[in-house]
A and B are shown apart, each in its own frame.
Chain A
């Protein structure tokens, strides 16, 4: 089979497909293993916060045409219980583990990164783009983004992957700020802010972030803008549901792709995407993903 290996931010992955934070868990991983299919290149956890968070009241999910609005609100056990109960299970799968963290201030990101310092994880995702925790999304502010990346950079030697929001006028400027302050990679994009209103009563049904195939072309464009703006590798994401979607992101310049909502519709979809990418590369005469990347760079 074609060599799909990717070196990304110092993390060696068997293939370029990873789950999006919050859409893949220990149970999903077990199902994939039981099915005997390809495993993602790395595992990405749900964003961990300092304190346990109950998350938002219901409803937290509503489907839209080819999409999903979520308003989860970073529900989770908090860093202490994550370290005590969950991390060892994530690590036991033998794949690189990227722990996603979310805070409200640079100090919180620093604290979380320090808590993860002595673990065997492969990298940290800085989630600065959650739309569901009240207030403005941190990652819409280039200066605050820079401060968080700078402070966390000083606090850890682990690879830092910064997750960007698409809800900005100039995503390239935010990506550059993250790169300048020492980010090792970018993951883009998080959900687009969205809402639904009951047409009969005028009541807001849900106001959160939109994901799924509905956002794929918009996400692709944002990823393309980021890839042109920075030299660090980019994990492209947003509505990817098939190998052909993933290939579009790879053509746009992404080094790897993340799959989110599609995992809900089909827990084996990442395996199918990995197989699909390998099949396409092979059919088109590429011996490896790296060869594709080099050829693509020459074409530019």
Chain B
């Protein structure tokens, strides 16, 4: 930072509302964050996605000022806030456990932030009323916290964070304590409010399906470092690493070979683009189950036998054993439930196209689509 604590402006950075730079943190033991950086654009809903213990919540607490990083900085609207105490940041945080004040009723919970800001009585009541209305809890003011259901508590936590008109909304696994149906309802609710207020939001979750359905952009974090930043579609269809491919959705990892510049997979040959950086020899491929087609044995393609199947309502998953390949590998194939006609033991043929196959570089642990014209951005947003 320079003397005024401002970054030099340029058109590219003006869009960035929140910037996280090279955060490092350890709680005395191994590092929790290892040079973690990303930016969030104004009005955007950005999901931090990763397995438990990957450092997501630590990032959120550093942004909120509840923790200080060992190294690195946090910038909000071009101003560094790394050393600002939480009360001077004006950010709205929704905690995983909701962290509602059990000794206060709903009204006082929501009003807490306004009372700290010495908002006079009438305005305070009006704003609490509005906030409760926004989360569809009008009339719940006098209730005690323990009288509310989990979903209602979650709404109170949201109202309490929103009422202070926060500069950012920080959500720490806000739906993880709710049952499946309620999760989907409240997800829509959060999205509606976030859009209505055009609020820059960080949403921490370990649920990849939730992240994909709600985020404008996803930051995939693993072991304290960024694995990939991209739109939900990018992250799902063009994972930048083996970890991302594995963590998000289901995927088959298959052994193939590069022979004479072509990929040989279960006897099928695929063209490899000239500039594709793989050496001759054994190679690890990844294919999503729903990108593989399954057909009658007389069709052309990879021959296999149905080793088992599981019914999931809308889809059916087959485990198909490839008898011709070494080690008799099994491939998982997912088809629409309506089109599932095969039974266990049936001979089938599998088909896949060049655009369905990713090659994983096991040395650098990066992934690349065989059919891609350009490499997907591992850190496309950093430029």
Indicate, yes or no, whether A interacts with B.
Answer: no
